[in-house]
Amino acid sequence: MTVQVAGVSLTPFKKPGQHRPFREMAADAIRGALEDAGLEPVDLQAAYAGYIYGDTGCGQHALYEALQTGIPVFNVNNACASGSSALYLARQAIMSGRVDCALAFGFEEMQPGALQAAFPDREAAGYRIEDQLNEQGIEAGPAAPRWFGAAGKQYLEAYNASPSIFAEVAVKTRKHASANPHALFRTPITVDEVMASPVIYDGYLTKFMCCPPSCGAAAAVLVSERFAKQKGISSGVEIIGQAMATDREESWKDPMHMVGKEMVRRAANAVYEEGSFGPEDVDVIELHDCFTPNEVLTYDNIGLCEEGEAPKLIADGDNTYGGKWVVNPSGGLMSKGHPIGATGLAQCTEIVQQLRGASGERQVEGARIGLQHNIGLVAGAVITAYRKG
């Protein structure tokens, strides 16, 4: 069963306190995706809503602001992979033959500062990582910076690399964001500025290597090939491979594995196999750069280079325009922002627009295959591949 993304949309991401209520942002994204697809609310047969900071039923509450047609609505809380998990489920519903047109949307209202536990009176899933890091004597710190900071430190030590590679990625990403009107941060920065920004963890992870909390929404309308023909949809982008992987016991052996090394590789390989292509065939990538160390680690994990060779890939400019791949032309989470439930659908939106040739100044010339990487701890990794229709 061939599944196409027929319509996409997102709202500009905003800093906490500068945003609108989540139902308004989500409704705008939903209406925009329907309009982009040339479809009406009555065409939708199921909806999947991704978010993490909200009570039960927030998906319905948001959808009702845009439409109330009585369709099934499923709320998806899968950490930072919530948006792409909603996308995964929407595609799965169409592939099953149960529906021909499904909506995936995501939204988030976040608070300023580091991520906070929604339920501080009980044990969080992330305590599994915390316990393992404590057992291994890893320096203490705020949870997410500690997880990814420790993984980045392990990478630097294992491959004798300099922390400046993480700063170079931040500079690259901010440069890309300068051409994206939806990005939160668009002013170029330098390696020196990144390295001189306040240290967040372990003496090297600085503020400008960490993505900001933000608020926003995004949505995608997925259709079957049959439905696309019936409705005359000609701008659809095909999903040619998709996989979700969760942790195995080996995930806890060291920091790099704790932030997804093995499960990302497993998901990426499954997608390459399903789509009958390899990383060398990919043109544009939207990658989950919640911290720039995670982007560097992911170069290895999705097969852009051999293990430990990310510094050379960066030095050769193979992660930007003119190189082998353009990674995060949107500006990524680092510059565009990371409203958690919306992130996976915002990545989808960027890839679809790139493959349509509709990305303006940030267009990747001749883009035909796009790859999306979205990870949530300890929820799992979702990799999705798209091909120009």
Whole-angstrom Cα distance, residue 374 to residue 288? 5
Structure-token pair, residue 190: 């330098």
CA 143 to chain centre: 19
- CA distance to 104, 350, 369, per residue, from 281 (Å): 27, 18, 7
Structure-token pair, residue 95: 């592939």
Q: Is 80 a catalytic residue?
A: yes
From the CB of residue 187, how many other CB atoms can be counted at a distance below 10 Å? 8
CA proximity to 65, closest of 82, 89, 41, 83: 41
Whole-angstrom Cα distance, residue 7 to residue 39? 9
Whole-angstrom Cα distance, residue 365 to residue 383? 23
Size (the chain), residues? 389
Q: Name residue 165's amino acid.
A: I
CA proximity to 139, closest of 200, 195, 198, 201: 201
Whole-angstrom Cα distance, residue 229 to residue 223? 10
- 145, 210 contact by CB (below 8 A): yes
Q: Which of 19, 176, 338, 373 is catalytic?
A: 338
Q: Which of 58, 80, 210, 305 is catalytic?
A: 80
CA proximity to 216, closest of 37, 35, 343: 343
Q: Which DSSP string corresponds to 218-249?
A: EEEEEEEHHHHHHHT--S-EEEEEEEEE---G
| φ/ψ bin of 40: left (φ > 0), alpha (ψ from -120 to 50), beta (otherwise) | beta
Q: Name residue 148's amino acid.
A: F
Q: Is 338 a catalytic residue?
A: yes
Just list the catalytic residues: 80, 338
